[in-house]
């Protein structure tokens, strides 16, 4: 169950990531080294590595990884909401 929840949160995080990157928010222009490195793929690689690590922890029966990923997902969702609704 932890693997499924972590995976679904990962899908949501990737969707939010894509929406923020496609939003053209001015804040993205302030960090061109992050958003334009390797064609903008660096942030996707980091997102994938976080998901992969959480899934590995879940597969080993350790609840720490998935719990940390849930916390990360909540914070990521909140920051994406702030960016996408132009509150920042």
The domain ranges of the chain are 2-84
74 and 13 Cβ atoms separated by less than 8 Å: no
The pTM is what? 0.88
Mean pLDDT of 4-29: 93
Alpha-carbon distances of 9 from 34, 40, 47, 54, rounded to whole Å: 23, 22, 11, 11
pLDDT tens for 24-44 read: 888 888 887 776 777 678 888
Q: Which of 55, 46, 64, 61 is nearest to 6 (CA)?
A: 55
Give the H or E element holding residue 27: helix 26-29
Which tens digits make up the pLDDT trace of 60-79?
999 999 999 999 999 999 99
């Amino acid at each position: 169950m932890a693997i499924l929840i972590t995976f679904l949160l990962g899908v949501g995080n990737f969707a939010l990531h894509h929406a923020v990157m496609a939003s053209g928010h001015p804040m993205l222009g302030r960090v061109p080294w992050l958003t334009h490195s390797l064609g903008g793929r660096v942030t996707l690689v980091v997102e994938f590595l976080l998901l992969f690590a959480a899934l590995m922890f879940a597969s080993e029966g350790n609840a720490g990884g998935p719990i940390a990923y849930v916390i990360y997902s909540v914070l990521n969702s909140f920051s994406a909401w702030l960016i996408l609704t132009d509150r920042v």
